[in-house]
């Protein structure tokens, strides 16, 4: 699995924690920034990650900002992206099993690094169930293709 990860200025701490987790898990990743604590624009980080996941360069993406909201909104504008904003372990598991989410968004001002690691670990290791959920994903994809 190859993961693209990025944050804006509001998510640097958790991004570093998730990178450590992926190192421990032996997951290949590329960090797309940001490298500063001054204010930056989250679409400048969310959109490139989403595009790289959508075009198949990466299997999944992880985005972190202050709340995760801006990153998830931006990422979901990219065709083929199913970015889930998650702040609990149950939702991390459910969004992989039922929604086949390909990007995880989290907010550093909402959760701490310990919970973020738990969420990311569950999200990274949970497979998509397929079955009855597959047709729902296909309906979303069909709608995207009509636009």
Whether the link from the prior residue into 136 is cis, omega within 30° of 0, is no
Active site residue 36: no
CATH number at residue 68: 3.40.1400.10
66 is in an annotated binding site: yes
Catalytic residue among 34, 87, 98, 133: 98
109 is in an annotated binding site: yes
pLDDT score at 65: 97
Give the model confidence (pLDDT) of 27-41 as tens digits: 999 999 998 889 999
The CA angle 60-68-42, to the nearest 5 degrees, is 85
What share of the chain in percent tops pLDDT 90?
97
pLDDT score at 147: 87
Give the pLDDT band (50/70/90) at residue 120: very high
pLDDT of 70 strictly over 90:
yes
pLDDT score at 7: 98
Q: Is 144 helix (H, G, I), strand (E, B) or coil?
A: helix
- Its domain, for residue 138, covers 1-144
Q: What is the helix (H) or strand (E) element at residue 33, kind and residue range?
A: none
Catalytic residue among 36, 65, 87, 133: 65
83/35: higher pLDDT? 83
**Average pLDDT value for the chain:** 97
Give the pTM.
0.96
Contact call for residues 79 and 54 (beta carbons, < 8 A)? yes
69 is in an annotated binding site: yes
pLDDT of 93 strictly over 90:
yes
The CA angle 131-146-91, to the nearest 5 degrees, is 40
The CA angle 79-80-82, to the nearest 5 degrees, is 110
Active site residue 98: yes
Query: In total, how many domains does the chain have?
Result: 1
């Amino acid at each position: 699995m190859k993961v693209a990860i990025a944050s804006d200025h509001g998510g640097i701490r958790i991004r570093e924690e998730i990178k450590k987790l992926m190192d421990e898990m032996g997951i290949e990743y590329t960090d797309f920034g940001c490298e500063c604590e001054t204010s930056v624009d989250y679409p400048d980080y969310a959109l490139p990650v989403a595009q790289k996941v959508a075009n198949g360069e990466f299997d999944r993406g992880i985005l972190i900002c202050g709340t995760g909201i801006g990153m998830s909104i931006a990422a979901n504008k990219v065709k083929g992206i199913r970015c889930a904003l998650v702040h609990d372990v149950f939702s991390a598991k459910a969004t992989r099993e039922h929604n086949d989410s390909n990007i995880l968004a989290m907010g550093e001002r909402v959760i701490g690094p310990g919970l973020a690691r738990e969420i990311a670990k569950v999200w990274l290791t949970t497979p998509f169930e397929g079955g009855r959920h597959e047709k729902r994903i296909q309906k979303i994809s069909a709608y995207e293709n009509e636009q």
